[in-house]
Amino acid sequence: CGCHTAPPSPGPDSKPISDGVLKRRAEGHAHYAQAVLLEMSKQREAALDEYQKAAELDPGNEELVVDVAQRWLAQKNPERALDLLKFAAAQPDSTPMMQVLLGTAYWQMGKTNLAIEANQRAIKKDPKLFVAHQNLHLNYFQSHRTNDALAVLDSAAKQHGVEADFLVGLGDSYVKFAAGVPLVKSTAY
């Protein structure tokens, strides 16, 4: 009788959650709820600010971090995405996608070397993540470093056990590269 039930008991290997972490999560949920309400009221900029606050309070929530970062990047506001992505990418369990988005933010800001380094880290973390290869290839290609751009594609082509979309994207990248640099058509085909 009553609405309260005891929380599940933690497993033998789990660590207790500190009060600070619980408080931060609660604040993050409050900002997220406020963002949803603002978005429903067509106040998109204010909603994005609230989503940003929620993501900053819970950088391990990759789905939220990716969504917020992609919105800032789509609005050509990489500085706002960068703050969030640097923090999220530094988390011990961050995925390579954080590095890819970090590279995109750096690229939009004109920080080519930092973009290249971020995409290289993503490839190192997951060599089967095609978007990391694609972004690194584009970083080099758009910086007129065609030999490096081709080397990225060639390295990606050596990956085994990749999904079909990886191979389709790789083939498409080779075709576009060959069209953009006619002198290498014979080696790219």
134-144 pLDDT, tens digit each? 999 999 999 99
pLDDT digits (tens, 9 = 90+) for 12-61: 555 667 788 788 888 999 999 999 999 999 999 999 999 999 999 988 88
Picking from 1-5, 67-71, 169-173, which range would have the lowest pLDDT averaged per residue? 1-5
**Which pair of tokens denotes residue 147?**
């030999």
Averaged pLDDT for residues 159-167? 95
166 pLDDT higher than 90: yes
Where does 72-174 show beta strands of DSSP type E?
none
**Which pair of tokens denotes residue 3?**
């609405």
Confidence at residue 9, expressed as pLDDT on a 0 to 100 scale: 46
188 pLDDT higher than 80: no
Report the chain's mean pLDDT, rounded to a whole number.
Answer: 88
- Are the C-beta atoms of 71 and 58 separated by less than 8 Å? no
**Which pair of tokens denotes residue 120?**
């290289």
Q: Does the pTM exceed 0.75? A: yes
152 pLDDT higher than 90: yes
171 pLDDT higher than 60: yes
**Which pair of tokens denotes residue 95?**
């995925």
Confidence at residue 183, expressed as pLDDT on a 0 to 100 scale: 64
Give me the torsion for CA of 118, 168, 126, 150, rounded to 10°: -50
